[in-house]
Amino acid sequence: MLFLPIILKHNFYRQISTNSNHNNDSSVYPFYIQNINKFLEIFIGLINSDGYIEIGPQKQYSKNFNSKYHTKSTIRSRIVLRLHAKYLELLKLFANILKIAKIDELKSKNQYRLIIHKTDIFNIIYPFLTNNNIEFLNYNRRKQFFLLKYIIENNLKYWEDINLNKINNLFVESNKKLEFTDIINLPYFNNWLLGFTVAEGSFHIKARGTAHFSIVQSDIENYPIIKAIHYFIKGPESLNYHIKPENYKVYRISFSSKKDLNFIINFFDNNLLGLKKLQFDNWKAYINSNIKASAQNVILDKRSNNFTINNTNKNNNSDKFHSCTTNNSKNDSK
């Protein structure tokens, strides 16, 4: 994998010493400064769910009030991550490490937005994605990125020069429909899943005391994502398992078997960020104190997370597994 553009890496190193004292999660700085690619892959996983690529017209006004000529609108391009106010510290962490993002507040909605503007998208984010062959996996994000890529590659400057119908048709024709086997073998899948889980994952204890991990995604176009995650945790035994939607468009998978909990704990341990890390730590502590005492094989052995479809000998998840269960709680569609 290629490295992040040198200018961004240099910026990270140069500003780390002056800003780390202003962040409650400053302890993660040294790790992510040395693992910038990992950090951005996690960030892209989060954008796939709770973010979006916003492209639209930026109106321009002529300074000559007597001018009879129409001033074309330029193209506004932004990457936006919009979260509830309780995730503000997480947004600050991303902003402080990335150094290319700003945060603003939506007071009426009790939310905050992390925004990356056009110049940094064009000079840093876009080269990182294209040079490292990193793709958005969510269908809507793929479509948004396709428009961004078309604008950059065709050097379009004005909104009036964009033919959205033409670009949409090109996307339909050229969009690579990733199968779950393609997704799980992507070299950045593990890091992508960490970011995606921050948005869509849930570590919870049901009323009867059973521990569950669940994750959700909407729309049939995103079924391969859910299938890939299911296979990643369950292993080859689940190859032909079909995940049914909760309703006409929402897919949710939930895991509660001892083997699954063991794998999930070892995969996510010390890898999550923000409130999701706190949720996971409390969830793990509950399992350790309430389950391990009576079932000591729950979280003992370490299991590899380097899955590959074509070489099942690389994982230890080939035992017989319980089927995925369904959680019927209401989903917030993305």
For 234-282, how does the pLDDT look when each residue is reduced to its tens digit (9 = 90+)? 999 899 999 999 887 899 999 999 999 999 999 999 999 999 999 999 9
**233 occurs within a structural domain:** yes
- What pTM does this model have? 0.78
Which domain CATH number covers 154?
A: 3.10.28.10
For 130, the domain range is 6-60+72-176
Which of the listed residues 145, 176, 207 is the one where a domain comes to its end?
176
Mean pLDDT to the nearest integer, 137-165: 96
How many domains is the chain built from? 2
Distance (Å, whole) CA 194 – CA 201: 9
Which of the listed residues 141, 157, 176 is the one where a domain comes to its end?
176
Same domain, 207 and 150: no
Same domain, 250 and 156: no
**243 occurs within a structural domain:** yes
Q: Residue 320: its pLDDT value, please?
A: 27
Which of the listed residues 135, 158, 176 is the one where a domain comes to its end?
176
Q: What H or E segment, with its residue span, contains residue 141?
A: helix 139-153
Q: Residue 248: its pLDDT value, please?
A: 77
pLDDT digits (tens, 9 = 90+) for 269-324: 999 999 999 999 999 999 988 865 544 434 433 333 333 333 333 343 333 222 33
Q: Residue 98: its pLDDT value, please?
A: 87
Same domain, 277 and 150: no
Question: Between these two residues, 61 and 111, which has the higher pLDDT value?
Answer: 111
Q: Residue 29: its pLDDT value, please?
A: 53
**331 occurs within a structural domain:** no
Q: Residue 32: its pLDDT value, please?
A: 59
Q: Residue 326: its pLDDT value, please?
A: 34
**324 occurs within a structural domain:** no
Q: Residue 30: its pLDDT value, please?
A: 55
Same domain, 278 and 238: yes
